[in-house]
Structure 1
Amino acid sequence: IPWLDNARAFAILAVILVHATEHIYSMDAVHLNAISFQSALFAIIAFTIGRLGVPIFLFLTGYLLLDRKFNEDMCEKFWKRNWLGMVITTEIWIVIYDIFLRVFHFQPHWHTMSLFKDMLFLTQVKMGHMWYMPMIIGVYLCIPFAARSLQKLNAKILIFPVGILSAYAFLIPVWRVINETLSLTKIGSVLDLGYSGGVYGIYIILGYCIKKGMLNFCKKKQLGIIVSIFFLLTVLLQIFPLAYGKTYNVWYDCGFLVICGLFLFELFSFTKFIGSQKWWTWLSRNSFGIYLIHFPLIMVLQEWAKSLPLIMPVKVMLLCGIVLAISILICRGINHFPRLSKLLLYNR
């Protein structure tokens, strides 16, 4: 399905952009207020675009997996092929990352016990993007149960519970940012969202709702307007604290970001990307491999990129382009060895 490939291709490009941005810029109030407004605005806009990558990935998971009919045989097949395959690939990369961190002096000493803890998911390997893997592994474990439960329900019945959960998961954090910026009373929430999978579980359920036609009433122009409005609100929510010398970098519990990402996901079904569809499809199918490969490249190249006599936005885009190109070349090389590709890149 071309538009789903395009959505996934966008998501991996966005992830590379957000990581390149935060490795060139220091995304805190002290540094952003010390540079020109134009440069700081670019950083926040690029960072916000980048933050849309993970929501798109999660919407895709719900769209593609929660509508499947999981009988007992399908459950076993899913856990063996998809879940166990993802665990094995993650474990291999945890070892690669630990070796990488030691070889390139990002951590001073080799600790075998720390490696075992990383592999058992008792601690997190010191790579900024690796928080995603334990989360998605946990989610995948429960996908068959969720899918079987949802198939027995009319999608309309989800409006009430998903609405309540979304309000607590995504609107209270926005309210909290505003309150803390103005030094008002701190806002908390005692509602336990764990049974729903937390904010990430809600993202996946929303992807399923898109599959069931939740936004079919919206036309392309309306979708574009809503995406633009909530993208602007997400950017302003980060600019607002800067005026008070405070830092807020948007996270996935931000209601503005969720709405922007959700309507953007639907908008992809109306949008054809520039260039050959084969290229976007290839990028989509190799997005997981690129995700695993790109971060060490950014860590190695960031100091070189920072040293260039160029303005910071150009450094960000240059770092993005080089990291993407090298990641693609590595993926292409590994793809020549199907068994290795299956293990290293989770190519199924």
Structure 2
Amino acid sequence: MSNNNSKRIFYFDALRTIAILCVVLLHVTGHLGEMMHYNLSTIYSLSGAFETFANNFFRIGIALFLMLSGALLLGRDWDVRNFFSKRIPRIAKPFLFWSLIFTFMLISTSYFIPNIDFVDKFGIFDMLGVFIDMLLCKAPGAAVYWFFWMMLGVYLLMPIFNKWINSTDWSNIEYFLVLWIIYNIAAYSLMIPIPEAVSFFISPIGFAVLGYYLRYSERKIFNNSFAAMILIIIPALIMMIYSYSIVDSKILFVFHRYSFLIMMEAVGVFCLFKTSSILNDFGDNIKKFVSSVALCSYGMYLIHSQLIMVARKIIHLQLNFTIEYIFLFIVGFIFSWIIICILGKIQFLEDYIGIK
């Protein structure tokens, strides 16, 4: 089942923009959640309701990134060696570059700015330890770097799945997806204990296969905008209702990024942008902006969390929820996009900042 299509598709750019937007909004929500003093009156407020919604709905960002990788890369004729030589450096170089930059930033801000204590020792081996912690997602603001390691695992598995997809039929792909969905329900909805190392590989590559399937599937349910809206709205309502039904035991219940309801929402968003003529018929200026964000999305992912963290440290926010949310969104989304865009104009940096 080989499909070759190198032509740029706008709805893919739109989905990538939605994906990075969701990631940033989720992390902004998380930062504000740390600053809020939760109690029953807080959780039943408008800001509490938004926190509950955002902490679940915006988790579709990672799923969308994975589905786009599968939609773009699977089912094509490519050589394994060329695939690795092109794809792995495209994620590894920016990861190493920004890890080094933010290691320097953590050390320098801790050394020169009073009351900032990201780093408390400044010996050579201590600073090397900060860099290693950055690579291992242990340094302040580096927790989001797990994404690189996950994508590396997906790329290592892709040649196997690509060869299988090119030699099989739709019924076998659907059979795999059914088994994969059952696995995800067991692991992330029924919470049946499964080794984390197994989940780290199975769930992401499944989303990649799902993205390929949704791109080319001719089933009516996946080619209907109304059905896509249902797949978005129903899971969102269920998650809100369930979260509030257990408010006495857990103030904020968060569904796992690979849970069944999150997957349904991601499928709905993917299919909505695939099928909606309205969402694919924006003006040229909007399309240029969307395409620009899509190209910068990986670099934005690698820098947005640290920018938000440093902004919180330097500027002690004591404003209302809405103003703080807008401010952190501007720092995490708009400012990170501007940084990547500007650096992208420097030719020798293009391979290192996360433009793809």
Tell me the TM-score range normalised by the shorter chain. 0.7 to 0.9
TM-score, with normalisation over the residues of structure 2? 0.83
1:98 equivalent to 2:113? Answer no
| SS of 1:344 mapped into structure 2 | coil
1:33 equivalenced with 2:40 (yes/no): yes
* Mapped partners of 1:306, 1:116: distance in 2: 27
User: 1:265-276 counterparts in 2 under 5 A?
Assistant: 265-271=270-276, 272=279, 276=286
Q: Which residue of 2 aligns with 1:340?
A: 349
How far has the Cα of 1:212 moved from its partner?
Answer: 2.8
Per-residue CA distance 1:91-126 (angstroms, 9 max, x = gap): 22222222222233323235245356447x666444
Which range moves more in the overlay, 230-239 or 39-48?
230-239
The match for 1:69 is 77
TM-score under structure 1 length normalisation: 0.85
Partner residue in 2 for 1:236 = 241
Aligned equivalent of 2:185: 170
- Percent identical among aligned pairs is 20
Q: What CA deviation, in whole Å up to 9, does each residue of 1:177-198 have, x standing for no partner?
A: xxxxxxxxxxx24589839922
The whole-number CA distance in structure 2 between the counterparts of 1:292 and 1:122 is 14
1:22 paired residue number? 30
Q: Deviations over 1:136-179 (max 9, x none)?
A: 11211222222112111102212223212321223552234xxx
The residue matched to 2:42 in structure 1 has which SS?
A: coil
The 1:318/1:233 distance shift into structure 2, 3 A limit, reads same
Structure 2 gap segments, 5+ residues each = 1-8, 110-116
The aligned length equals 330
Contact 1:21 1:47 in 2 (8 A): yes
- The yes-or-no answer on 1:213 pairing with 2:217 is yes
Q: 1:201 to 1:33 in 2, by over 3 A?
A: farther
Whether the 8 Å CA contact 1:58–1:204 is kept in 2: the answer is yes
Q: 1:67–1:278: structure 2 CA closer, same or farther, 3 Å change rule?
A: same
Change beyond 3 A, Cα 1:213–1:35:
same
Distance 1:260 1:93 in 2: 31
Q: In the alignment, which residue of structure 1 is the partner of 2:119?
A: 107
Contact 2:39-2:251 within 8 A present in 1 as well = no
* Equivalent position of 1:184 in the other structure: none
Q: Could you say which residue in structure 2 is the equivalent of 1:182?
A: none
* Kept in 1: contact 2:52–2:253 (CA 8 A): no
* Residue in 1 that maps onto 2:340: 331
CA-based RMSD of the aligned residues comes to 2.7
Deviation at 1:14, TM superposition (A): 0.9
Please tell me the residue identity of whatever aligns with 2:349. Answer: L
Q: Distance in 2 between matches of 1:166 and 1:308?
A: 43
Matches within 5 A, 1:69-218: 69-70=77-78, 74-104=79-109, 105-110=117-122, 111-115=126-130, 117-118=132-133, 124-126=138-140, 127-176=142-191, 188-190=192-194, 194=198, 197-213=201-217, 215-218=219-222
1:239, distance to aligned residue in structure 2 (A): 2.9
Change (3 A) 1:22 1:190: closer
Residue type of the alignment partner of 2:306: P
The answer to whether the Cα contact below 8 Å between 1:94 and 1:125 also exists between their aligned partners in 2 is no
